[in-house]
Amino acid sequence: MWQQMSAPEIVARSFGYIDTDFPNPNGENDTSVIIYGYTPSIGLAAFAAAWFFVHLVVHTAQNFTTRCWWWMTFSTGLIFEIVGYIARSLSAKEDPYNLIFFVLQYFFIVTAPVFLAAGIYTISSALISRLGKTYSFLKPAVILGFFITSDVVSTIVQIAGACLVGVKESQREDPTTANHILLAGLAYQVFAMSIFVTLMATFQFRARHAIKEHGYRLFCFACSVATIMVYLRTIFRLAETAQGLGGNLSTNEVFFACLEFAPIAVVVLLLGIWHPGRCLGAKKYLDYIATELPI
């Protein structure tokens, strides 16, 4: 079908969004249409960048005061969020047709939660080691290794698919195969995280008395909500990709704001208030590292 259509027809067939109030500069890196499916809001992008910058300062400062160096992974994720939303701000303010801005914001915003999730996996592994391995079906080192590896692999697949989508759209070619690659990465990520959510829910139920005894109830509640928020965001990305470019989820920024930005914003807020450096402590986690991970 795509081979039988002219270039303008292919663009219209995909989604073909053009902002009449924002003329296409037609620069070297500009596509014929806005791949987002809308012109990004500068207000949302700037607020998101500021929000994550403030929490980067909050988290990193607590890392230093508690000497919680293992939580710097989370700070790395916040840096990725900031860079992603700065690129999105450039799309909104300077040129929404620019393919480089689109790819950069997608890469960093999609990749950032991998580092944030790695922090959550680390907390869960440390809690299991601290409260008792008999409460968990898997060893802490297995949880840490398997789920971090799963996130890395799925994200690489997602980024490859997203880049191919951008290239195909800029060349006015069929992006279906590229979208399927992106969908496969997200589907595996949802699958792996579903297992993690189930394991952690089971662990916290079985260890509920130990959690209360150690005074970890609020901390575990914050971690549970953070996990659910990351999980919700991943499900949104899967549903968005399943609809394909031009779908309602991908062409409406309200969904992006509520199901991409908001869940991650809640995660960084909760774990800033209940910072693991204060709730678990660097020494406790280092003891876990010494006993659990082969070094």
- Domains of the chain, residue spans: 42-292
Residue indicated by tokens 């992008």: 45
Q: Are the beta carbons of 93 and 42 closer than 8 angstroms?
A: yes
Query: Across-strand partners of 98?
Result: 30
**Does residue 19 carry a pLDDT above 50?**
yes
* Helical axes 99-131 vs 217-243, angle rounded to 10°: 150
pLDDT value, residue 283: 53
156-170 average pLDDT score: 75
**Does residue 295 carry a pLDDT above 50?**
no
Instruction: Determine which of 33-37, 38-42, 194-198 has the lowest per-residue pLDDT on average.
Output: 33-37
65-83 average pLDDT score: 92
**Does residue 172 carry a pLDDT above 70?**
no
Residue 166, SS3?
Answer: helix
Which segments within the chain are labelled E, that is strand?
Answer: none
**Does residue 294 carry a pLDDT above 50?**
no
At 216, list the tokens: 């970890």
Instruction: Determine which of 12-16, 168-172, 176-180, 252-256 has the lowest per-residue pLDDT on average.
Output: 12-16
pLDDT value, residue 166: 65
Chain center to CA of 50: 17
Contacts of 180 (CB under 8 A, 6+ apart): 161
**Does residue 285 carry a pLDDT above 60?**
no
Average pLDDT, the chain: 85
**Residue 199: Cβ-neighbour burial (10 angstroms; 0-12, 13-18, 19+):** middle
Among 265, 204, 285, which Cα is nearest to 50's? 265
257-269 average pLDDT score: 97
* CATH-assigned architecture of domain 42-292: Up-down Bundle (1.20)
**Does residue 7 carry a pLDDT above 50?**
no
* pTM recorded for the entire structure: 0.85
